[in-house]
Amino acid sequence: MAKRAGGKAYYMISAVSQKYNIHPQTLRLYEREGLLKPSRTEGNTRLYSEEDLEQLETILTLTRDLGVNLAGVEIILNMRRKIEQMQGEVNEFMDYVKRELARGIDDWEQRLGTALVKSSPTDLVRRTPPVQADAQTEKPKIKNTK
């Protein structure tokens, strides 16, 4: 039986146990172990959200298909949570770097626009004269550019 609250669907323990072919005590065990955290009604009835069902599907895949015990499931779920958190931090840092680079480029363009001498950075680099090999001595010979 699905209940709707605020546009989200919630499922009672009996509906979840039937849908996934598991005993309600197994769901209670997963909650005791901290693997699932269903919300509760005022009457203390467990209500499972779509996110809880996704978590349950992950737990069932790990236990049924891959043979992972509950301690292993807990470690894997914690690692997934940490990886997702770190990915969020990396994305936030990359956004910061992009903003700073864009601001830096704008800053350089503004500086170049107000410069006294208009030249590109490549014009400011001293070029070395080209080196040619002398056919008789096999030693490099510097060509005179004057």
Number of domains making up the chain: 2
54 and 22 part of one domain = yes
Distance CA 93, CA 55 (A): 28
| Residue 53 forms part of a structural domain | yes
- pTM tops 0.75, yes or no: no
Q: In whole angstroms, how far apart are CA 85 and each of 33, 36, 68, 91? A: 22, 19, 24, 10
Instruction: Please write the tens of the pLDDT for every residue from 21-75.
Output: 999 999 999 999 999 999 999 999 999 999 999 999 999 999 999 999 999 999 9
Please state, for a pLDDT cut of 90, what percent of the chain lies above it. Answer: 60
Q: What is the pLDDT of residue 53?
A: 97
55 and 102 part of one domain = no
Distance CA 20, CA 1 (A): 14
Q: What is the pLDDT of residue 20?
A: 97
| Residue 82 forms part of a structural domain | yes
Residue 50's nearest CA partner among 16, 97, 99 is 16
Distance CA 33, CA 75 (A): 12
